[in-house]
Amino acid sequence: MADIIISIRNLVKIYKMGDLEVHALRGINLEIRNDDFVAIMGKSGSGKSTFMNILGCLDTPTKGEYFLDNVNVGSLNKDQLAHLRNKKIGFVFQSFNLLPRTSALENVELPLMYNTKVSAKEMKERALKALESVGLADRAYHYPNQLSGGEQQRVAIARALVNDPVVILADEPTGNLDTRTSVEVMTIFQELNQKGITVVIVTHEPDIAGFTKYNVIFRDGRIQKSVIVENQKNAREELNHLPVIAEEDAL
């Protein structure tokens, strides 16, 4: 029996812009177990990113409760939240958010810099291992502007992994990538999930959502429905069927 790792109760987020109030989340209730692989879907503006930012402790809700790994997130101060992000969460952004002019290795080392227990030597070892696990060991000393979008996203995933988080959160991780690269990224997420890490992604593409275990559909700041994926696709197998030059053929 898997444990509940994320528990959300009646989560509300209201953005205030002067007099105008935007109700981005209108009461979300959700439980996620530690072996789950969830895709959050829904129309643009339905509140997916807002929800993910709160899950990632990058933003705070207006109302509601959020327990992460049995910690009441709402009761934490800023420094404790930073600690939580460092230890338990790996966040992957649609736009990668790598430090410019900084090598892949140094980007991946970044979370470890804020982990007082890790020595400089261990930092490098772990960062290299994380890069290896996303298949980029040979690009460790390349800068973001020397990497393709897919490679940058894999660096960002390595950065999310390096601190051994309990949950990986990815907001449209394949939004800027082509089909094949998207499947490659999903391969990594699937393998992480098989290793026991909880993965939550946001996506617009049903194809991508087919690699997850179940989908949560957002609508106007509420959860419209949750659907279990009947036949979860295996990304690695899919990759083998995809011709390497598929995109060029299509042109």
Partner 1 sequence: MKLMNQLIAALRSLSKNKMRTILTMLGIIIGVGSVIAMLAIGQGSKESIQKTISSLGTNLLTIFPSASMYGGVRSEAGSSVRLTYEDYLAIGEQCPAVMYSTPMVRTSGQLIAGSQNWRTSVYGVTPDYFDIRELAIESGSVWGPVEDKAAAKVCVIGHTVSNYLFGEGADPIGQMVRVNKIPFKIIGLTAAKGQNAFGQDQDDMVIAPFSTVQQRMMTVNYINSIMVSAKTEKMIPEATDEITQLLRIRHKLGPSEDNDFTIRSQSDIASTAASTSRVLTILLASIASISLLVGGIGIMNIMLVSVTERTREIGIRMGVGARGRDVLMQFLIEALMISLMGGIIGIFLGILASDIIAGVMSWPVSISIESILLSFLFSTAIGIFFGWYPARKAARLNPIDALRYE
- Interacting residues with ligand ATP (CB under 6 A): 15, 17, 22, 24, 42, 44-50
Comparing CA positions, the residue from 240, 131, 221, 127 lying closest to residue 180 is 240
> Which tokens is 152 given?
């940058």
> Which parts of this chain interact with partner 1 (CB under 8 A)?
53, 56, 58-60, 78-79, 82-83, 85-87, 91, 93, 97-102, 106, 110-111, 113-116, 120, 159, 163
The least CB distance from residue 162 to ligand ATP, in Å, is 26
Q: Give the range of 48-56, 108-116, 118-126, 227-235 binding Mg ion by CB under 5 A.
A: 48-56
Q: Are strands 214-219 and 37-42 parallel, antiparallel or unpaired?
A: parallel
Residue nearer to partner 1 on the CB measure, 30 or 161: 161
The H or E element that residue 4 is part of is strand 4-17
Residue 98 C-beta-side C-alpha neighbours within 13 Å: 29
Torsion of CA 138, 139, 142, 144, to 10 degrees: 180
Phi, psi of 183 (to 5 degrees): -65, -40
Decide: is 182 part of the binding site for Mg ion (CB under 5 A). Answer: no
Comparing CA positions, the residue from 196, 156, 189, 179 lying closest to residue 241 is 179
Amino acid at 217: I
Q: What is the pattern of x (binds Mg ion, CB under 5 A) and - over residues 49-68?
A: x-------------------
Decide: is 215 part of the binding site for Mg ion (CB under 5 A). Answer: no
Residue nearer to ligand ATP on the CB measure, 48 or 126: 48
Distance CA 226, CA 33 (A): 14
Q: Are strands 71-72 and 63-68 parallel, antiparallel or unpaired?
A: antiparallel
The least CB distance from residue 241 to Mg ion, in Å, is 30
The least CB distance from residue 211 to partner 1, in Å, is 25
Distance CA 45, CA 87 (A): 30
Site for Mg ion in 14-33 (CB under 5 A): none
The least CB distance from residue 8 to partner 1, in Å, is 17
Q: Which does 213 bind (CB under 5 to 8 A by kind): ligand ATP, Mg ion, partner 1, none?
A: none
Residue nearer to Mg ion on the CB measure, 49 or 187: 49
Chain Cα centroid distance, residue 190: 12
Q: Which does 99 bind (CB under 5 to 8 A by kind): partner 1, ligand ATP, Mg ion, none?
A: partner 1
